[in-house]
């Protein structure tokens, strides 16, 4: 188990070596946003009328929905509280995501975040 973890860690570090600074910074910003560390504003706009349809603001993670015609916005609203919005896209509906303030991310190192709850199986004791 330890050897496979070490091999996975080395592979992760090696894949970051051939990227330029912008790619590393972009990846680190995305990872921080997915871990609810970056404030974002997500705006959905009707392309025909130029009206805002929906606006989400806060510590939000953006992901593709279950189909190519939807997007999922998950926001942290408390210490252990989250809200999830699934929004449909169409030919006249578009969206953009704005990062509300600058964030400090390193371009000289590559971050790998392991979540023990995902790696280790849950054990139920009876």
pLDDT in tens, 3-52: 555 454 455 555 555 667 888 888 888 888 898 988 998 888 888 888 88
Q: Are residues 44 and 92 located together in one domain of the fold?
A: yes
Q: Are residues 53 and 70 located together in one domain of the fold?
A: yes
Tokens of 88: 């449909």
Q: Are residues 24 and 67 located together in one domain of the fold?
A: no
Nearest to 73 by CA among 59, 83, 62: 62
Cβ-contact 71, 65 below 8 angstroms = yes
Write down the H helix ranges in 43-92.
none
The total number of structural domains in the chain stands at 2
Mean pLDDT of 77-89: 89
Question: Does position 112 have pLDDT exceeding 90, yes or no?
Answer: no
Please give the span between the terminal C-alpha atoms of the chain, in angstroms, as a whole number.
26
112 is a domain residue = no
Q: Are residues 28 and 42 located together in one domain of the fold?
A: no
- pTM of the predicted model, to two decimals? 0.65
Q: Are residues 73 and 43 located together in one domain of the fold?
A: yes
Which domain does 89 fall in, by range?
Answer: 36-100
């Amino acid at each position: 188990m330890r050897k496979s973890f070490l091999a996975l860690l080395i592979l992760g570090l090696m894949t970051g070596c051939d990227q330029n600074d912008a790619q590393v910074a972009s990846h680190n910003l995305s990872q921080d946003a997915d871990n609810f560390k970056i404030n974002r504003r997500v705006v959905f706009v009707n392309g025909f009328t130029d009206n805002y349809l929906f606006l989400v603001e806060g510590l939000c993670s953006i992901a593709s929905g279950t189909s190519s015609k939807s997007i999922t916005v998950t926001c942290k609203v408390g210490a252990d509280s989250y809200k999830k919005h699934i929004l449909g896209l169409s030919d006249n509906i578009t969206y953009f995501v704005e990062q509300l303030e600058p964030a400090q991310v390193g371009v000289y190192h590559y971050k790998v975040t392991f979540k023990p709850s995902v790696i280790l199986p849950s054990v139920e004791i009876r």
